[in-house]
Chains A and B, each alone.
Chain A
């Protein structure tokens, strides 16, 4: 990753134009041309530096249901439980954290009822309780990283 890649990431985390040739417009601001921006974005995606290029939706506005769930899994059971949990397409991300509550994952479904159904299925499959901790109030969200 060089300075131009960094400039691209910093610029495009702030937004992307809605016009006929948005890559050309964005490229001009960065000081490169459209073809170079397209080439570099494809490479950044290929290298996995960018997880997504597109919209960040307000999930609730789309009618979707979203929650954060936690589990307490003994270390020797971890691999088995990870495989069971990750197998559900509704699991968006899943992290191990250094705590007795050591597994934390985000569930996304179309409805609240589906959310609860997935939680129940995971509990049955794994034999461990799932602690459901949906967002009650949002004070701040800005998934932006300076590079």
Chain B
């Protein structure tokens, strides 16, 4: 049966085999010549089945990308800022897309305000070699998206307290959450 033909839009559509595969792969791909065969051994699938399911999970977006995730600080991106804006609700989507188009923006999300303490609803991350480079990039965004008069703040990171590898909880085979 061609598993890839099945529409998969939510976790309910993940099979037990998928969950075993996700659990096996979440800590990383083995550094061996046939990594998909090793994963198969760990979750009771053949090498070919692993490849078929991985291709399916990539195609439907359950896996956004397979590859390396770097530690940006170790690569010379010393300055990392979360930039937040207080954008009118009816403009936030348009401006989110405008800001997301800059190649130096690594993510751009709408999040809830937490009034009165926190008035900002649009968040993006900008990484740069140093603080000045990041601030120059913020100015570019303001100019291009015409939001120079919108209240915003630039929150530079000071210390990394924790960064663990996988960013989600281990999945129990058969759990249907």
Contact = CB atoms under 8 A, between A and B. Distances in A.
B58 interface: yes
A53 B67 contact: yes
Nearest to A85: B161
Contacts, number: 262
Q: How large is the interface on B (under 10, 10 to 19, 20 to 34, 35 or more residues)?
A: 35 or more
B114 A131 contact: yes
A93 B171 contact: no
A58 B8 CA distance: 12
A16 B66 contact: yes
A105 B167 CA distance: 12
A97 B155 contact: yes
Contacts of B35: 22-23
Residue with the highest number of chain A CB atoms closer than 10 Å, among B97, B109, B124: B109
B32 interface: yes
Contact of A12 (B67, B157, B162, B177): B67
Residue with the highest number of chain B CB atoms closer than 10 Å, among A58, A72, A104, A134: A58
A80 interface: no
B129 to A, nearest CB: 11
Interface string A37-56: 01001101101111111111
A63 B10 contact: yes
Contacts of B165: 51-52
A131 B118 contact: yes
A73 B116 CA distance: 17
A52 B66 contact: no
A117 B33 CA distance: 42
18 contacts: A12-B68, A50-B71, A51-B69, A53-B29, A53-B67, A55-B63, A61-B10, A63-B177, A66-B168, A68-B111, A86-B161, A94-B160, A95-B160, A98-B156, A103-B161, A105-B162, A136-B112, A139-B109
